[in-house]
Amino acid sequence: MKIKDIKVFVCCPGRNFVTVKIITDHGVFGLGDATLNGRELAVVAYLEEHVIPCLIGRDAHQIEDIWQYLFKGAYWQNGAVSMAAIGAIDMALWDVKGKVANLPVYQLLGGKSRRGITVYAHVNGESIEDVLNHLGKAIKEGYKVVRLQCTIPGTEGTYGTLGGKKNYYELQGNRPLPPEHPWSTNQYLNFIPELFKRAREKFGYDIELCHDIHSRLTPIEAAQLGKMLEPYRLKFLEDAVTYDNPEGYKVIRNHTTTPVALGEKFNTIWDAKPLIENQYIDFVRTAATHGGGITSLKKLADFASLYHVRLAPHGAPDLSPICFMAHMHVDLWAPNFGVQEFIGFGTPELNDVFSFSAKFKDGEIYIKDKPGLGVDFNEEAAKQYPYKRSYLPVTRLNDGTLWNW
Ligand code: GCO
Ligand code: MG
Protein backbone atom coordinates (compact mmCIF):
# COMPACT_ATOMS: atom_id res chain seq x y z
CA MET A 1 0.00 0.00 0.00
CA LYS A 2 1.76 3.11 -1.26
CA ILE A 3 1.51 6.72 -0.19
CA LYS A 4 -0.10 8.41 -3.18
CA ASP A 5 -0.51 11.96 -1.95
CA ILE A 6 -0.13 14.07 1.21
CA LYS A 7 -2.11 17.26 1.71
CA VAL A 8 -1.60 19.97 4.32
CA PHE A 9 -4.51 22.16 5.49
CA VAL A 10 -4.33 25.27 7.65
CA CYS A 11 -7.54 26.54 9.19
CA CYS A 12 -8.66 28.73 12.09
CA PRO A 13 -11.97 27.55 13.58
CA GLY A 14 -11.38 29.72 16.66
CA ARG A 15 -7.65 29.11 16.57
CA ASN A 16 -5.10 27.88 14.02
CA PHE A 17 -4.62 24.21 13.23
CA VAL A 18 -2.35 22.46 10.75
CA THR A 19 -3.75 19.16 9.51
CA VAL A 20 -2.00 16.50 7.44
CA LYS A 21 -3.87 14.01 5.27
CA ILE A 22 -2.05 11.00 3.84
CA ILE A 23 -3.83 9.33 0.94
CA THR A 24 -2.84 5.81 -0.13
CA ASP A 25 -3.21 4.09 -3.47
CA HIS A 26 -5.80 1.80 -1.79
CA GLY A 27 -8.01 4.83 -1.21
CA VAL A 28 -7.57 4.69 2.58
CA PHE A 29 -6.50 7.98 4.16
CA GLY A 30 -5.05 8.98 7.53
CA LEU A 31 -5.01 12.24 9.50
CA GLY A 32 -2.33 13.90 11.60
CA ASP A 33 -2.03 17.09 13.66
CA ALA A 34 0.99 19.33 12.93
CA THR A 35 -0.08 22.43 14.89
CA LEU A 36 2.73 24.45 16.49
CA ASN A 37 1.04 27.36 18.21
CA GLY A 38 2.28 30.72 16.90
CA ARG A 39 4.70 29.12 14.39
CA GLU A 40 2.19 27.17 12.30
CA LEU A 41 3.41 28.06 8.82
CA ALA A 42 6.99 27.04 9.57
CA VAL A 43 5.72 23.47 9.96
CA VAL A 44 3.68 23.76 6.76
CA ALA A 45 6.81 24.78 4.84
CA TYR A 46 8.86 22.00 6.46
CA LEU A 47 6.25 19.47 5.42
CA GLU A 48 5.60 20.73 1.93
CA GLU A 49 9.16 21.53 0.93
CA HIS A 50 11.15 18.90 2.76
CA VAL A 51 9.06 15.97 3.99
CA ILE A 52 6.24 15.24 1.56
CA PRO A 53 8.38 14.92 -1.61
CA CYS A 54 10.39 12.13 0.09
CA LEU A 55 7.33 10.13 1.11
CA ILE A 56 5.36 9.79 -2.10
CA GLY A 57 5.50 6.17 -3.30
CA ARG A 58 6.69 4.75 0.06
CA ASP A 59 4.93 1.85 1.76
CA ALA A 60 2.41 3.40 4.16
CA HIS A 61 2.69 0.35 6.44
CA GLN A 62 6.32 1.04 7.34
CA ILE A 63 5.59 3.48 10.15
CA GLU A 64 8.80 2.84 12.07
CA ASP A 65 11.04 3.07 9.02
CA ILE A 66 9.38 6.30 7.89
CA TRP A 67 9.83 7.76 11.40
CA GLN A 68 13.55 6.85 11.36
CA TYR A 69 13.90 8.12 7.81
CA LEU A 70 12.44 11.53 8.69
CA PHE A 71 14.33 11.76 11.99
CA LYS A 72 17.78 10.28 11.33
CA GLY A 73 17.60 10.73 7.60
CA ALA A 74 17.34 14.52 7.79
CA TYR A 75 20.75 14.74 9.53
CA TRP A 76 19.29 17.81 11.38
CA GLN A 77 17.44 16.21 14.25
CA ASN A 78 15.07 17.42 16.99
CA GLY A 79 13.41 20.82 17.12
CA ALA A 80 9.75 21.75 17.52
CA VAL A 81 9.13 22.42 13.81
CA SER A 82 10.55 19.18 12.48
CA MET A 83 9.09 17.05 15.27
CA ALA A 84 5.59 18.49 14.75
CA ALA A 85 5.92 17.54 11.08
CA ILE A 86 7.10 14.02 11.96
CA GLY A 87 4.39 13.78 14.63
CA ALA A 88 1.65 14.52 12.11
CA ILE A 89 2.96 12.07 9.50
CA ASP A 90 3.31 9.38 12.16
CA MET A 91 -0.24 9.87 13.52
CA ALA A 92 -1.65 9.77 10.01
CA LEU A 93 0.17 6.50 9.28
CA TRP A 94 -1.20 4.89 12.48
CA ASP A 95 -4.64 6.09 11.40
CA VAL A 96 -4.16 4.40 8.01
CA LYS A 97 -2.90 1.18 9.60
CA GLY A 98 -5.87 1.03 11.95
CA LYS A 99 -8.32 1.59 9.13
CA VAL A 100 -6.71 -1.13 7.01
CA ALA A 101 -6.67 -3.55 9.96
CA ASN A 102 -10.22 -2.48 10.82
CA LEU A 103 -9.11 -1.91 14.42
CA PRO A 104 -8.87 1.13 16.69
CA VAL A 105 -5.24 2.23 17.12
CA TYR A 106 -5.16 1.22 20.81
CA GLN A 107 -5.62 -2.39 19.69
CA LEU A 108 -2.50 -2.13 17.53
CA LEU A 109 -0.56 -0.81 20.52
CA GLY A 110 -1.46 -3.80 22.69
CA GLY A 111 -5.08 -3.31 23.66
CA LYS A 112 -6.81 -1.58 26.55
CA SER A 113 -5.23 -1.35 30.00
CA ARG A 114 -8.21 0.45 31.50
CA ARG A 115 -11.91 1.12 31.16
CA GLY A 116 -11.88 4.89 30.70
CA ILE A 117 -9.37 7.74 30.58
CA THR A 118 -9.19 9.90 33.72
CA VAL A 119 -8.93 13.55 32.76
CA TYR A 120 -8.16 16.77 34.57
CA ALA A 121 -10.17 19.90 33.95
CA HIS A 122 -8.99 23.49 33.89
CA VAL A 123 -10.50 25.62 36.60
CA ASN A 124 -9.42 29.23 36.61
CA GLY A 125 -10.66 32.56 37.89
CA GLU A 126 -9.96 36.17 38.62
CA SER A 127 -10.11 35.73 42.40
CA ILE A 128 -9.98 32.85 44.88
CA GLU A 129 -13.79 33.07 45.28
CA ASP A 130 -14.20 32.81 41.54
CA VAL A 131 -11.88 29.78 41.32
CA LEU A 132 -13.68 28.05 44.19
CA ASN A 133 -17.07 28.59 42.50
CA HIS A 134 -15.77 27.02 39.31
CA LEU A 135 -14.15 24.20 41.26
CA GLY A 136 -17.51 23.42 42.91
CA LYS A 137 -19.11 23.22 39.46
CA ALA A 138 -16.34 20.96 38.10
CA ILE A 139 -16.78 18.59 41.05
CA LYS A 140 -20.55 18.50 40.38
CA GLU A 141 -19.86 17.71 36.73
CA GLY A 142 -17.94 14.66 37.89
CA TYR A 143 -14.29 15.68 37.56
CA LYS A 144 -11.96 13.83 39.92
CA VAL A 145 -8.85 15.83 39.03
CA VAL A 146 -8.72 19.58 38.47
CA ARG A 147 -6.03 22.14 37.70
CA LEU A 148 -6.37 25.44 39.60
CA GLN A 149 -5.08 28.74 38.19
CA CYS A 150 -5.91 32.18 39.57
CA THR A 151 -5.12 35.76 38.66
CA ILE A 152 -2.46 37.06 41.02
CA PRO A 153 -3.81 40.33 42.42
CA GLY A 154 -2.28 43.20 40.47
CA THR A 155 -0.91 40.87 37.77
CA GLU A 156 -3.18 41.21 34.79
CA GLY A 157 -3.02 38.35 32.28
CA THR A 158 -1.68 35.77 34.75
CA TYR A 159 -1.12 32.49 32.87
CA GLY A 160 -4.14 30.23 32.83
CA THR A 161 -6.75 32.87 33.69
CA LEU A 162 -9.27 34.64 31.53
CA GLY A 163 -8.43 38.30 32.18
CA GLY A 164 -11.46 39.58 30.26
CA LYS A 165 -11.23 36.97 27.48
CA LYS A 166 -14.50 35.16 27.00
CA ASN A 167 -13.66 31.57 26.29
CA TYR A 168 -10.17 30.50 26.89
CA TYR A 169 -7.12 32.18 28.29
CA GLU A 170 -5.02 31.70 25.18
CA LEU A 171 -7.74 32.22 22.63
CA GLN A 172 -6.10 33.44 19.48
CA GLY A 173 -7.05 35.50 16.49
CA ASN A 174 -6.17 38.95 15.23
CA ARG A 175 -3.15 39.42 17.38
CA PRO A 176 -0.86 41.41 15.12
CA LEU A 177 2.01 41.11 17.62
CA PRO A 178 2.52 39.11 20.82
CA PRO A 179 0.72 40.70 23.79
CA GLU A 180 2.93 41.41 26.82
CA HIS A 181 2.05 40.39 30.38
CA PRO A 182 3.67 41.51 33.65
CA TRP A 183 5.07 39.06 36.19
CA SER A 184 6.10 39.25 39.84
CA THR A 185 7.47 36.08 41.43
CA ASN A 186 7.17 37.62 44.87
CA GLN A 187 3.44 38.35 44.51
CA TYR A 188 2.89 34.89 43.03
CA LEU A 189 4.64 33.04 45.88
CA ASN A 190 2.74 35.13 48.42
CA PHE A 191 -0.59 34.25 46.87
CA ILE A 192 -0.71 30.68 45.51
CA PRO A 193 -0.51 28.74 48.82
CA GLU A 194 -3.65 30.60 49.97
CA LEU A 195 -5.54 29.43 46.86
CA PHE A 196 -4.85 25.77 47.66
CA LYS A 197 -5.46 26.23 51.37
CA ARG A 198 -8.92 27.65 50.67
CA ALA A 199 -9.67 24.93 48.11
CA ARG A 200 -8.85 22.22 50.66
CA GLU A 201 -10.82 23.96 53.41
CA LYS A 202 -13.89 24.13 51.21
CA PHE A 203 -13.73 20.86 49.26
CA GLY A 204 -11.53 18.53 51.28
CA TYR A 205 -9.06 16.04 49.88
CA ASP A 206 -11.18 13.77 47.63
CA ILE A 207 -10.71 16.01 44.64
CA GLU A 208 -7.17 15.78 43.22
CA LEU A 209 -5.56 19.14 42.48
CA CYS A 210 -2.80 20.29 40.12
CA HIS A 211 -1.23 23.62 39.24
CA ASP A 212 0.77 24.87 36.23
CA ILE A 213 3.63 27.26 37.06
CA HIS A 214 4.39 27.63 33.35
CA SER A 215 8.16 27.85 33.92
CA ARG A 216 8.00 31.13 35.82
CA LEU A 217 10.23 30.12 38.73
CA THR A 218 13.87 29.32 39.39
CA PRO A 219 14.58 25.87 40.85
CA ILE A 220 14.93 27.05 44.43
CA GLU A 221 11.77 29.17 44.19
CA ALA A 222 9.90 26.15 42.82
CA ALA A 223 11.28 24.09 45.71
CA GLN A 224 9.94 26.70 48.14
CA LEU A 225 6.52 26.61 46.51
CA GLY A 226 6.45 22.81 46.47
CA LYS A 227 7.22 22.81 50.19
CA MET A 228 4.58 25.42 50.99
CA LEU A 229 2.00 23.36 49.07
CA GLU A 230 2.81 20.04 50.76
CA PRO A 231 -0.05 20.31 53.30
CA TYR A 232 -2.53 20.58 50.40
CA ARG A 233 -1.20 17.39 48.74
CA LEU A 234 -1.20 18.22 45.04
CA LYS A 235 -1.33 15.56 42.36
CA PHE A 236 1.40 17.54 40.61
CA LEU A 237 3.01 20.88 40.07
CA GLU A 238 3.54 21.38 36.37
CA ASP A 239 6.39 23.07 34.49
CA ALA A 240 8.01 24.48 37.60
CA VAL A 241 11.10 25.69 35.75
CA THR A 242 12.36 25.45 32.18
CA TYR A 243 13.60 21.97 31.37
CA ASP A 244 16.81 22.90 29.58
CA ASN A 245 18.84 22.17 32.70
CA PRO A 246 17.64 18.86 34.22
CA GLU A 247 19.71 19.56 37.33
CA GLY A 248 17.20 22.29 38.18
CA TYR A 249 14.70 19.53 38.80
CA LYS A 250 17.17 17.84 41.13
CA VAL A 251 17.08 20.95 43.29
CA ILE A 252 13.28 20.77 43.45
CA ARG A 253 13.34 17.03 44.21
CA ASN A 254 15.82 17.48 47.00
CA HIS A 255 13.52 19.85 48.84
CA THR A 256 9.93 18.81 48.38
CA THR A 257 7.69 15.77 48.13
CA THR A 258 5.15 17.62 45.96
CA PRO A 259 5.03 15.57 42.73
CA VAL A 260 6.30 17.18 39.56
CA ALA A 261 5.05 17.07 35.95
CA LEU A 262 7.00 18.19 32.91
CA GLY A 263 7.27 17.70 29.19
CA GLU A 264 4.67 19.54 27.11
CA LYS A 265 7.58 21.12 25.23
CA PHE A 266 9.60 17.91 24.86
CA ASN A 267 10.24 17.04 21.25
CA THR A 268 12.01 13.72 21.72
CA ILE A 269 12.56 10.96 24.24
CA TRP A 270 16.05 12.35 24.75
CA ASP A 271 14.59 15.56 26.21
CA ALA A 272 12.82 13.39 28.77
CA LYS A 273 15.62 10.87 29.38
CA PRO A 274 17.72 12.59 32.11
CA LEU A 275 14.60 13.76 33.94
CA ILE A 276 13.08 10.30 33.95
CA GLU A 277 16.13 8.15 34.63
CA ASN A 278 17.15 10.38 37.55
CA GLN A 279 13.59 10.20 38.85
CA TYR A 280 13.32 13.98 38.97
CA ILE A 281 9.75 13.96 37.63
CA ASP A 282 6.59 11.95 38.31
CA PHE A 283 4.51 12.66 35.19
CA VAL A 284 5.70 13.17 31.63
CA ARG A 285 3.51 15.46 29.51
CA THR A 286 4.80 15.01 25.96
CA ALA A 287 2.20 15.46 23.22
CA ALA A 288 1.92 13.22 20.18
CA THR A 289 2.07 16.29 17.94
CA HIS A 290 5.14 17.99 19.41
CA GLY A 291 6.96 14.83 20.39
CA GLY A 292 7.02 12.99 17.06
CA GLY A 293 3.77 11.05 17.08
CA ILE A 294 2.40 7.82 18.49
CA THR A 295 5.63 5.97 17.70
CA SER A 296 7.49 8.35 20.05
CA LEU A 297 4.88 8.20 22.82
CA LYS A 298 4.90 4.40 22.76
CA LYS A 299 8.66 4.35 23.39
CA LEU A 300 8.46 7.12 25.96
CA ALA A 301 5.72 5.31 27.90
CA ASP A 302 7.71 2.08 28.05
CA PHE A 303 10.90 3.88 29.09
CA ALA A 304 9.07 5.95 31.73
CA SER A 305 7.43 2.84 33.18
CA LEU A 306 10.87 1.57 34.25
CA TYR A 307 11.10 4.55 36.62
CA HIS A 308 7.50 4.72 37.94
CA VAL A 309 6.89 7.82 35.81
CA ARG A 310 3.37 8.09 34.41
CA LEU A 311 1.94 9.76 31.32
CA ALA A 312 -0.07 12.98 31.61
CA PRO A 313 -0.22 14.10 27.97
CA HIS A 314 -0.56 17.76 27.08
CA GLY A 315 -4.15 18.55 26.14
CA ALA A 316 -4.24 22.30 25.50
CA PRO A 317 -6.64 23.71 22.88
CA ASP A 318 -3.79 24.37 20.47
CA LEU A 319 -3.58 20.62 19.87
CA SER A 320 -6.25 19.61 17.38
CA PRO A 321 -8.84 16.87 17.96
CA ILE A 322 -6.60 14.60 15.88
CA CYS A 323 -3.88 14.83 18.53
CA PHE A 324 -6.57 14.50 21.22
CA MET A 325 -7.73 11.23 19.68
CA ALA A 326 -4.15 10.00 19.26
CA HIS A 327 -3.74 10.58 23.00
CA MET A 328 -6.96 8.70 23.74
CA HIS A 329 -5.51 5.57 22.11
CA VAL A 330 -2.12 5.88 23.82
CA ASP A 331 -3.82 6.58 27.18
CA LEU A 332 -6.08 3.55 26.85
CA TRP A 333 -3.13 1.31 26.16
CA ALA A 334 -0.25 2.65 28.30
CA PRO A 335 0.07 0.59 31.49
CA ASN A 336 1.65 3.63 33.13
CA PHE A 337 -0.97 6.17 32.10
CA GLY A 338 -1.64 8.76 34.82
CA VAL A 339 -4.08 11.45 33.77
CA GLN A 340 -5.01 13.34 30.59
CA GLU A 341 -5.33 17.13 30.39
CA PHE A 342 -8.78 17.95 28.99
CA ILE A 343 -10.33 21.27 28.01
CA GLY A 344 -13.69 20.01 26.76
CA PHE A 345 -14.94 18.77 23.41
CA GLY A 346 -14.63 22.12 21.65
CA THR A 347 -16.63 24.96 20.19
CA PRO A 348 -19.26 24.71 17.40
CA GLU A 349 -16.68 26.04 14.89
CA LEU A 350 -14.18 23.38 15.93
CA ASN A 351 -16.81 20.66 15.70
CA ASP A 352 -17.77 21.93 12.27
CA VAL A 353 -14.28 21.03 11.02
CA PHE A 354 -13.29 18.04 13.16
CA SER A 355 -15.58 15.20 14.23
CA PHE A 356 -14.91 12.42 16.72
CA SER A 357 -16.91 10.29 19.15
CA ALA A 358 -15.94 10.59 22.79
CA LYS A 359 -18.04 11.05 25.89
CA PHE A 360 -17.30 12.27 29.39
CA LYS A 361 -18.70 10.46 32.41
CA ASP A 362 -17.68 10.59 36.08
CA GLY A 363 -14.30 12.13 35.41
CA GLU A 364 -13.38 9.74 32.61
CA ILE A 365 -13.51 9.81 28.83
CA TYR A 366 -14.76 6.92 26.73
CA ILE A 367 -14.21 6.70 23.00
CA LYS A 368 -16.22 4.78 20.43
CA ASP A 369 -14.45 1.84 18.83
CA LYS A 370 -13.73 2.96 15.29
CA PRO A 371 -10.99 1.83 12.91
CA GLY A 372 -7.89 4.02 13.11
CA LEU A 373 -7.89 7.14 15.28
CA GLY A 374 -11.63 7.71 14.91
CA VAL A 375 -11.47 11.34 13.86
CA ASP A 376 -12.59 13.10 10.67
CA PHE A 377 -11.67 16.37 9.03
CA ASN A 378 -14.15 18.30 6.89
CA GLU A 379 -12.09 19.98 4.15
CA GLU A 380 -14.98 22.09 2.87
CA ALA A 381 -15.88 23.40 6.34
CA ALA A 382 -12.20 24.18 7.00
CA LYS A 383 -12.16 26.56 4.01
CA GLN A 384 -14.59 28.82 5.84
CA TYR A 385 -12.03 29.45 8.59
CA PRO A 386 -8.88 30.85 7.00
CA TYR A 387 -5.57 31.09 8.86
CA LYS A 388 -5.04 34.13 11.08
CA ARG A 389 -1.53 35.02 12.13
CA SER A 390 -1.43 34.89 15.89
CA TYR A 391 1.01 34.74 18.77
CA LEU A 392 1.30 33.49 22.31
CA PRO A 393 1.94 36.28 24.82
CA VAL A 394 5.35 37.16 26.25
CA THR A 395 6.06 38.00 29.89
CA ARG A 396 8.16 40.79 31.41
CA LEU A 397 9.23 41.37 34.99
CA ASN A 398 8.20 44.68 36.55
CA ASP A 399 11.50 46.29 35.51
CA GLY A 400 10.97 45.27 31.88
CA THR A 401 13.20 42.17 31.78
CA LEU A 402 11.86 39.50 29.43
CA TRP A 403 10.77 36.41 31.39
CA ASN A 404 9.35 32.97 30.57
CA TRP A 405 5.72 33.18 29.57
C1 GCO B 1 -1.03 23.53 29.28
C2 GCO B 1 -0.09 24.40 28.55
C3 GCO B 1 -0.68 25.32 27.55
C4 GCO B 1 0.42 26.02 26.74
C5 GCO B 1 0.06 26.11 25.29
C6 GCO B 1 1.11 26.82 24.47
O7 GCO B 1 -0.65 23.12 30.36
O8 GCO B 1 -2.09 23.22 28.76
O9 GCO B 1 0.83 25.01 29.41
O10 GCO B 1 -1.55 26.18 28.18
O11 GCO B 1 0.64 27.29 27.24
O12 GCO B 1 -0.17 24.83 24.82
O13 GCO B 1 0.80 26.79 23.12
MG1 MG C 1 1.30 23.54 30.88
Q: What's the angle, vertex CA 242, arms to CA 240 and CA 247, rounded to 5?
A: 90
Q: What pLDDT, in 10s, does the model give residues 143-166?
A: 999 999 999 987 776 787 766 555
Q: What pLDDT, in 10s, does the model give residues 291-350?
A: 999 999 999 999 999 999 999 999 999 999 999 999 999 999 999 999 999 999 999 999
61 in catalytic set: no
Kindly report the backbone phi and psi dihedral angles of residue 383, in degrees, each rounded to the nearest multiple of 5, phi listed first. Answer: -65, -25
Q: What pLDDT, in 10s, does the model give residues 171-211?
A: 555 567 888 889 999 999 999 999 999 999 999 999 999 99
Q: What pLDDT, in 10s, does the model give residues 35-81?
A: 999 999 999 999 999 999 999 999 999 999 999 999 999 999 899 99
Residues 6+ apart with CB under 8 A from 30: 21, 22, 24, 60, 91, 92, 93, 94, 95, 96, 97, 99, 372, 373
Ligand 1 contacts CB of residue 318 (under 6 A) = yes
Q: Using an 8 Å Cβ cutoff, are 317 and 168 in contact? A: yes
> What is the structure's pLDDT at 163?
64
CA-based nearest residue to 295, from 286, 283, 308, 282: 286
Q: Using an 8 Å Cβ cutoff, are 393 and 214 in contact? A: no
Beta strand pairing status for 358-361 and 29-33?
A: unpaired
pLDDT band at 270 (very low <50, low <70, confident <90, very high): very high
> What is the structure's pLDDT at 164?
56
CA-based nearest residue to 248, from 268, 221, 229: 221
CA-based nearest residue to 235, from 265, 255, 205, 263: 205
Distance CA 378, CA 163 (A): 33
Q: Using an 8 Å Cβ cutoff, are 196 and 146 in contact? A: no
Ligand 1 contacts CB of residue 122 (under 6 A) = no
Distance CA 128, CA 289 (A): 34
Kindly report the backbone phi and psi dihedral angles of residue 166, in degrees, each rounded to the nearest multiple of 5, phi listed first. Answer: -75, -45
User: How far does the centroid of ligand 1 lie from the alpha carbon of residue 23, in Å?
Assistant: 31
> What is the structure's pLDDT at 171?
52
For the beta carbon of residue 221, count every other beta carbon within 10 angstroms: 19
Of the residues 159, 169, 243, 385, only one is catalytic, namely 159
- Nearest protein CA to atom 1 of ligand 1, as residue: 316
Share of the chain above pLDDT 70, in %: 96
Does the structure show a pLDDT above 80 at 168?
Answer: no
> What is the structure's pLDDT at 166?
54
User: How far does the centroid of ligand 2 lie from the alpha carbon of residue 194, in Å?
Assistant: 21
**Between 155 and 393, residue with greater pLDDT:** 393
The residues that bridge with 260 in the sheet, in sequence order, are 237
Distance CA 123, CA 135 (A): 6
Distances (CA, A) of 391 to 36, 149, 179, 213, 342: 11, 21, 8, 20, 22
Beta strand pairing status for 364-367 and 117-125?
A: antiparallel
Distance CA 397, CA 216 (A): 10
- Which atom of ligand 1 lies at the shortest distance from residue 122's CA? 8
Domain ranges of the chain: 3-104, 108-372
Does the structure show a pLDDT above 60 at 371?
Answer: yes
Q: What's the angle, vertex CA 132, arms to CA 181 and CA 203, rounded to 5?
A: 140
Q: Given phi > 0 = left and psi -120 to 50 = alpha, else beta, which region is 308?
A: left
Question: Residue type at 211?
Answer: H
> What is the structure's pLDDT at 157?
67
Kindly report the backbone phi and psi dihedral angles of residue 126, in degrees, each rounded to the nearest multiple of 5, phi listed first. Answer: -90, -15
214 in catalytic set: yes
The CATH number of domain 108-372, selected from 3.30.450.270, 3.20.20.120, 3.40.50.1000, 3.40.50.2300: 3.20.20.120
For the beta carbon of residue 135, count every other beta carbon within 10 angstroms: 23
> What is the structure's pLDDT at 155?
78
The CATH number of domain 3-104, selected from 1.20.210.10, 3.60.9.10, 3.30.565.10, 3.30.390.10: 3.30.390.10
User: How far does the centroid of ligand 2 lie from the alpha carbon of residue 47, in Å?
Assistant: 26
